[in-house]
Amino acid sequence: MTFEELTIGLPAPKPLLLAEAALFLDLDGTLAPIASRPQDVRAEPRRTRLVENLARAMDGRLAVISGRTLADVDRILEGRVISVAAVHGLVRREPDGTVHEAAPHPALPEASRRFREFASRDSGLIVEEKGLSVALHYRLAKAHGGPARLLADEIAAGTGLTLQHGDMVEELRTPGPTKGDSVRDFLDQPPFAGARPIFIGDDATDEHGFEAVAGAGGLGILVGPPRETAARFRLAGVEQVLAWLEAAL
What distance in Å separates the CA atoms of residue 26 and residue 43, rounded to the nearest whole number? 15
What distance in Å separates the CA atoms of residue 84 and residue 183, rounded to the nearest whole number? 10
The strand pair at 162-166 and 126-129 is best described as unpaired
Structure confidence at residue 8 (pLDDT): 58
Paired residues of 92 in beta bridges: 85, 100
Q: In what order do the strands lie in the sheet with 169-173?
A: 126-129, 133-137, 169-173, 162-166
Considering the domain delimited by 17-102+177-246, tell me its CATH architecture: 3-Layer(aba) Sandwich (3.40)
Structure confidence at residue 5 (pLDDT): 39
Verdict on whether the full-model pTM lies above 0.85: yes
Q: Are 70 and 86 in contact (CB under 8 A)?
A: yes
What distance in Å separates the CA atoms of residue 244 and residue 22, rounded to the nearest whole number? 15
Q: How far is CA 34 from CA 14, 38, 90, 246, in A?
A: 25, 8, 22, 20
Structure confidence at residue 129 (pLDDT): 96
Catalogue the active-site residues.
26
What distance in Å separates the CA atoms of residue 83 and residue 65, rounded to the nearest whole number? 9
CATH of segment(s) 108-173: 3.30.70.1020
Paired residues of 86 in beta bridges: 91
Q: What is the 3-state secondary structure (H, E, C) of the chain?
A: CCHHHHHCCCCCCCCCCHHHEEEEECCECCCECCCCCHHHCCCCHHHHHHHHHHHHHCCCCEEEECCCCHHHHHHHCCCCCCEEEEHHHCEEECCCCCEEECCCCCCHHHHHHHHHHHHCCCCCCEEEECCCEEEEECCCCHHHHHHHHHHHHHHHHHHCCEEEEECCEEEEECCCCCHHHHHHHHHCCCCCCCCEEEEEECCHHHHHHHHHHHHCCCEEEEECCCCCCCCCEEECCHHHHHHHHHCCC
Domains 17-102+177-246 and 108-173 share a fold: no
- Per-residue pLDDT of the chain (249 residues), as tens digits, is 333 434 457 999 999 999 999 999 999 999 999 998 999 999 999 999 999 999 999 999 999 999 999 999 999 999 999 999 999 999 999 999 999 999 999 999 999 999 999 999 999 999 999 999 999 999 999 999 999 999 999 999 999 999 998 889 999 999 999 999 999 999 999 999 999 999 999 999 999 999 999 999 999 999 999 999 999 999 999 999 999 999 999
**Domain limits of the chain?**
17-102+177-246, 108-173
